[in-house]
Amino acid sequence: MKNLKQIINDCKELAFDLNFTRAKKWKAEKDGRVIVGYTPIYFPREVIHAAGGLPVGVFGGGDRKQIIKGDAYYQSYICHIPRSIMELALDKHLDDFDGFIFPSICDVLRNLSGIFKQHKFGKFVKYMDFPQNFLPQIGGVFYQQEMEHVMKYIKEINGKTPTVEELNHSIGLYNKNRQMIEFIYDIRQEFPWRLSIEDVYHIVRAGTVIPVEEHNEILEQVCIHIKESIGEPQDKIKVVISGAFCEQPAVGLIRAIEEAGCYVVDDDYMLGSRMILGDIDATTNKPLEAISNAYIKQSQYSSSIYDVDNPKEYRLAKIVEKRGANGVIFASASFCDPSLLDAPIFQNAFNKMGIRYIAFQFSENINQFKVIKEQVGAFSDSIKLWEDEPVLVTK
Amino acid sequence: MSKEAIKEKSMILQKEMVEGLFNDLANVEKTGKKVCYTFVPGNLSELIRTFDMLPVYPEINALQSAMRKKSGGYIKEAERNAHSEDVCTYVKCDVGMMMKGNIGPTGTKIPEPDVLLLSYTGCFTFMKWFETLKREYPNAEVVMIHTPYQENAEITPEMTQYMVNQLKEEVIPKMEKVSGVKFDENKLKGFLKLSAEAEDWITKIFDTTKHKPSPIDAYFAGVYYIGPINIGFRGTPEAVEYYKELYSEIQERIRLGLGPVTPEGEMKEEKYRLVVEGPPNWTSFREFWKIFYDMGAVIVASSYTKVGGVYDMGWRHDPERPLESLGEYCMNCYTNLNIPQRIDLLSKCIKDYQADGYVTNSIKSCNSFSAGQLGMMREIEDRLEVPVGFIESDLVDPRYFSYSNIKNRLESYFQMLAQRKMLEKQEA
């Protein structure tokens, strides 16, 4: 077993390998293998895995890719991630990818799928329309058809239609993956000093670019390490980060928040890997229906899911309560409609509930965090100096 | 100082229709009519009418507020309440208007909604907008119909079935519950028949720009022409009458060889024919239009006039397939088309209407239109070798309309068009 430091270093390299070396090597090892890139936030990777593919997260270049060509495609008042994904594509980082999936999260990524189609990147481009109708017999059926559409595209490349057993096997692997990620968060809830949030981020993000079997091995080792009493507690408040993260913050920003006096005990940085709460049934003879039911009935809240019957402000408040957090940090990507349009909903509700919060905006390529660090530091100090009762959500 | 606008009979008809709607809205307490808030793209006007409800269009209120110079204050009000500077200004204008008492364009209070009907078509922000409205109007019934995107440039049978299932199992039962009116398919069919008729007329109207000079401006005047069909009158005899009258007026203009009517009278000389992509700016609408007509530029086609439905490719509401037809209508609105479809449609307009150029008015706070416009512009330029122009403004936020910048850019663009025309003439 590797030591924790080695594991984290490996994950750091994997998570930000913008050449997707491991995925390309995996594809080259055997005929019929395909790489399917998917953009944030969530895609049921089980489907690609069962069809003989490797789902690979395409989350932008962050602060590690200079944007030149991508800026020619997007006006200054559009968020950063589409220009950064275009830059990756135009600079041939995604050349070995067989297809691309754009989950329906906002107008910008929806239209980016059209630009990808126009450029004929990959062998297929699929805008994945997630249902906003949450009745299994209506929205659920539509969602299954969308998944079948993806499987049809992959079959056109490798001739493979996954069996029920293969789909259930894949569901099982991803169930295990989600369980272990949640275990890490649960441990951190009590002992956040055992593993920094920056390390958690690298570990989880690494899982989006390598086979799930390999990621599960990594997670198993991490779980063993953090069961041990390691690290030293510091005088920090506990916070939940909420940002509807499609565009990812620079790692420096993730680090800065903890350095400024906060333990981040929950977040939605890599929401896609944690979207389904609990397991998907891996024992049915209708695995697509099982995936669909899980999405409809046991998804985490998200700014991209219509929430009228299940208001997001109460769901976030429940997370704050469950994690014993002292407050919330709202971090929205600049010009991110879903996140920014949610801001008044969250903030008005939290004002009434008495949950303390701060809010700021970021862009994936900013690497100056002094102002944000000061803001977070002041937030942490204010809570430490005027500590309230723990949050109790009544609704 | 601008001159008094000239009013034709069709304009008077439209004014009467809109005033009638707002009067009806002002009197709901007396009449007991139920009020349905909904949006223009994917609007289910015929269905709303089937349940005897009155529609309210928040984005129309927003643009009307902008034309009356009230949107700036409303937006600031919303921003004081945690709304970001960088999001859709229609939303903020609407929220600000609500905070200030919800006084509509005609000066009367707009009644609260009994139902929020979200036919979520081509614009993600609509969904977020209704999440906000739901929290403002907790007693309103919420009806959501998720319209699948034409991601693969097609409407598949599965997509239509998804729409029909939602209509049957969710939308119609909830509308029945709120209105107390039982769904009557024959009544709906009657409205759909009239809708198809109005759609025929409006298609013929926008097709008149093939004439030289074009008898109409298909963007600045076009936004008025699409009013009745988009704001609840589709499916009524009044809308059919309006479009017949408008068509007849345009035919007369063609017969007389006249150009478009502008706020300052007839445009005397048509120098440039343009296709425009993107919504207009509403806060300085007249000044914006004036830059074009002063330069002799007429818009022969625009994407914005297709935002409430794309009829020029032959699609029509079909009374024989009422629910399927409503579903297809929603899926066929402009912003529900994928980027290659939009490029193809605009390219066709440029060719069919013999445009000299293509201009994008990129709206700061409207990603549904704006994201991808630069790529579309490059493709159209490459494909058709047509000169392209690019300007930026906003829907209803007066802070983002920079008259001098826009005028300078357009003047340079028109100079380029003039130069090109001169060279073409020399080569000929």
- What does chain A come to in residues? 395
Q: How far apart are CA A321 and CA A278, in angstroms?
A: 19
pLDDT tens for residues A366-382?
878 999 999 999 999 99
Buried b (16+ CB within 10 A) or exposed e, A350-370: beebebbbbbebbbbbbeebe
The residue type found at A264 is V
Q: Which of B82, B142, B339 sits opposite A348 (nearest CB)?
A: B82
Q: Which two tokens stand for residue B116?
A: 């929020």
Whether B83 sits inside 8 A of A344 (CB atoms) is: yes
* Packed helices A107-119 and A81-90: angle between N→C axes, nearest 10 degrees: 20
pLDDT > 50? residue A66: yes
3-state secondary structure of B198: helix
Reported confidence tier of residue B203, pLDDT bands at 50, 70, 90? very high
| Interface test with chain B among A308, A330, A334, by most B beta carbons within 10 Å | A308
Q: How many CA atoms lie within 13 A of B225 on its CB side?
A: 32
Rg of chain A in Å (alpha carbons): 20
A258 occurs within a structural domain: no
Q: Which residues contact B342 (CB under 8 A, 6 or more apart)?
A: A114, B277, B303, B334, B372, B376
pLDDT > 70? residue A243: yes
Residue B120: the pLDDT is: 85
Q: Are strands A237-242 and A124-128 parallel, antiparallel or unpaired?
A: unpaired
Q: Are strands B261-262 and B265-266 parallel, antiparallel or unpaired?
A: antiparallel
Q: Are strands A124-128 and A99-103 parallel, antiparallel or unpaired?
A: parallel
- Residues of chain B found within 8 Å of residue A332, distances taken between Cβ atoms: 84
Q: How does the average pLDDT of chain B come out, rounded? A: 95
Q: Per DSSP, what are the bridge partners of residue A327?
A: A239, A356
Mean per-residue pLDDT, A161-180: 98
With contact defined as beta carbons under 8 Å apart, do A42 and A268 qualify? no
Q: Which two tokens stand for residue B161?
A: 């079935």
3-state secondary structure of B133: helix
Domain boundaries, position A66: 15-151
Architecture label for domain B194-427: 3-Layer(aba) Sandwich (3.40)
pLDDT > 50? residue A130: yes
- Residues of chain B found within 8 Å of residue A138, distances taken between Cβ atoms: 162, 165-166, 169-170
- Residues of chain B found within 8 Å of residue A82, distances taken between Cβ atoms: 371
Closest CA relative to residue A329, chosen from A245, A209, A231, A214:
A245
Closest chain A C-alpha to B376 CA, distance in angstroms: 8
Mean per-residue pLDDT, A55-68: 94
Closest residue in A to B164 (Cα) is A138
Sign of CA dihedral A183, A187, A193, A194: negative
With contact defined as beta carbons under 8 Å apart, do A57 and A208 qualify? yes
Q: How far apart are CA A305 and CA A95, in angstroms?
A: 31
Reported confidence tier of residue A309, pLDDT bands at 50, 70, 90? confident
Residue predicted with more confidence, B64 or B107: B64
Whether A115 sits inside 8 A of B368 (CB atoms) is: no
CA torsion, ordered B102, B105, B111, B117, to nearest 10 deg: -100
A363 occurs within a structural domain: no
| Interface test with chain A among B338, B342, B393, by most A beta carbons within 10 Å | B338
Rg of chain B in Å (alpha carbons): 21
- DSSP character at residue A276: B
Q: How far apart are CA B428 and CA B425, in angstroms?
A: 5
pLDDT > 80? residue B5: no
Residue A386: the pLDDT is: 77
| Interface test with chain A among B367, B369, B382, B402, by most A beta carbons within 10 Å | B367
Share of chain A above pLDDT 70, in %: 98
The residue type found at A324 is G
Query: Does residue B142 belong to the interface with chain A, where contact is any CB pair within 8 Å?
Result: yes
Q: Which residue has the tokens 């469950």?
A: A322
Q: Which two tokens stand for residue B106?
A: 């005609």
- Predicted complex: ipTM over 0.85: yes
Mean per-residue pLDDT, A63-67: 92
Residues 74-113 of B with CB under 8 A from A: 81-84, 86-88, 91
pLDDT tens for residues B68-117?
999 999 999 999 999 999 999 999 999 999 999 999 877 889 999 999 99
- Please report the beta strands in B335-397, taking only residues with DSSP state E, as ranges in sequence order: 357-363, 388-393
Closest chain B C-alpha to A118 CA, distance in angstroms: 6
Domain ranges of chain B: 9-187, 194-427
A228 occurs within a structural domain: no
Q: Which residue has the tokens 């989600």?
A: A178
Closest chain B C-alpha to A342 CA, distance in angstroms: 7
Neighbour count for residue B296 (Cβ, 10 Å): 17
**Residue B170, CA distances (Å) to A356, B52, B86, B166, B167 in order:** 38, 18, 34, 5, 6
Residue A391: the pLDDT is: 56
Mean per-residue pLDDT, A50-57: 98
Whether B373 sits inside 8 A of A75 (CB atoms) is: yes
Q: Which residue has the tokens 């005033």?
A: B19
- Residues of chain B found within 8 Å of residue A328, distances taken between Cβ atoms: none
pLDDT tens for residues B143-164?
999 999 999 999 999 999 999 9
* Packed helices B89-99 and B124-136: angle between N→C axes, nearest 10 degrees: 10
A178 occurs within a structural domain: no
Characterise A62 by phi-psi region: left (phi > 0), alpha (psi -120 to 50), beta (else): left
Whether A142 sits inside 8 A of B131 (CB atoms) is: no
Whether A107 sits inside 8 A of B125 (CB atoms) is: yes
Q: How far apart are CA B374 and CA B380, in angstroms?
A: 10
Closest chain A C-alpha to B382 CA, distance in angstroms: 13
Whether B169 sits inside 8 A of A108 (CB atoms) is: no
pLDDT tens for residues A144-153?
999 999 999 9
With contact defined as beta carbons under 8 Å apart, do A146 and A134 qualify? no
Query: What are the two backbone dihedrals, phi and then psi, of residue B366, each rounded to the nearest 5 degrees?
Result: -130, 85
DSSP states along A137-169: IIIIHHHHHHHHHHHHHHHHHH-----HHHHHH
Residue B107: the pLDDT is: 84
Give how far the C-alpha of residue A36 lies from the chain's centroid of Cα atoms, to the nearest Å. 16
Q: Per DSSP, what are the bridge partners of residue A127?
A: A102
Upstream peptide bond of B213 is cis (omega within 30 degrees of 0): yes
Closest chain A C-alpha to B7 CA, distance in angstroms: 38
Q: How many CA atoms lie within 13 A of A146 on its CB side?
A: 27
Residue B427: the pLDDT is: 86
Locate all alpha helices (DSSP H) within B365-402, ordered by sequence.
367-370, 373-384
Q: In chain A, how many domains are there? A: 1
Q: Which of A117, A306, A332 sits opposite B338 (nearest CB)?
A: A117
CA torsion, ordered B140, B146, B147, B152, to nearest 10 deg: 160
**Residue A25, CA distances (Å) to A30, A155, A210, A213 in order:** 9, 21, 10, 15
Closest residue in B to A139 (Cα) is B162
DSSP states along A286-329: -HHHHHHHHHHHSBPP-TTS--TTS-HHHHHHHHHHHHT-SEEE
Residue A192: the pLDDT is: 97
For residue A87, give the CATH number of its domain: 3.40.50.11890
Mean per-residue pLDDT, A29-37: 97
Whether A343 sits inside 8 A of B158 (CB atoms) is: no
| CATH class of the domain comprising B9-187 | alpha beta
Locate all alpha helices (DSSP H) within A238-395, ordered by sequence.
251-259, 287-297, 312-323, 337-353, 370-385
Closest CA relative to residue A114, chosen from B335, B360, B391:
B335
Closest residue in B to A112 (Cα) is B372
Q: Which two tokens stand for residue A61?
A: 């270049």
Mean per-residue pLDDT, A298-317: 93
- What does chain B come to in residues? 428
Query: Does residue B361 belong to the interface with chain A, where contact is any CB pair within 8 Å?
Result: no
| Interface test with chain B among A74, A102, A118, by most B beta carbons within 10 Å | A118
Neighbour count for residue B381 (Cβ, 10 Å): 13
- Residues of chain B found within 8 Å of residue A352, distances taken between Cβ atoms: none
Q: Which of B170, B367, B379 sits opposite A337 (nearest CB)?
A: B367
Residue B1: the pLDDT is: 43
Residue B6: the pLDDT is: 61
Q: Which residue has the tokens 């063993």?
A: A224
- DSSP character at residue B103: B
Whether the domain at B9-187 and the domain at B194-427 fall into the same CATH topology = yes
Closest chain B C-alpha to A192 CA, distance in angstroms: 31
Q: Per DSSP, what are the bridge partners of residue B276?
A: B302, B359
Buried b (16+ CB within 10 A) or exposed e, A50-83: bbbbbbbbbbbbbbebebeebeebbbebbbbbbb
As separate numbers, helices (DSSP H) first and strands (DSSP E) second, chain A gives 14, 8
Q: How far apart are CA B50 and CA A158, in angstroms?
A: 50
The residue type found at A9 is N
Whether A77 sits inside 8 A of B365 (CB atoms) is: yes
Q: Which residues contact B415 (CB under 8 A, 6 or more apart)?
A: none
Q: Which two tokens stand for residue B269?
A: 């000389």
Closest chain A C-alpha to B398 CA, distance in angstroms: 16
Q: Which two tokens stand for residue A157?
A: 């490349």
Q: Which residue has the tokens 């299932």?
A: B165
pLDDT > 90? residue B180: yes
With contact defined as beta carbons under 8 Å apart, do A124 and A156 qualify? yes
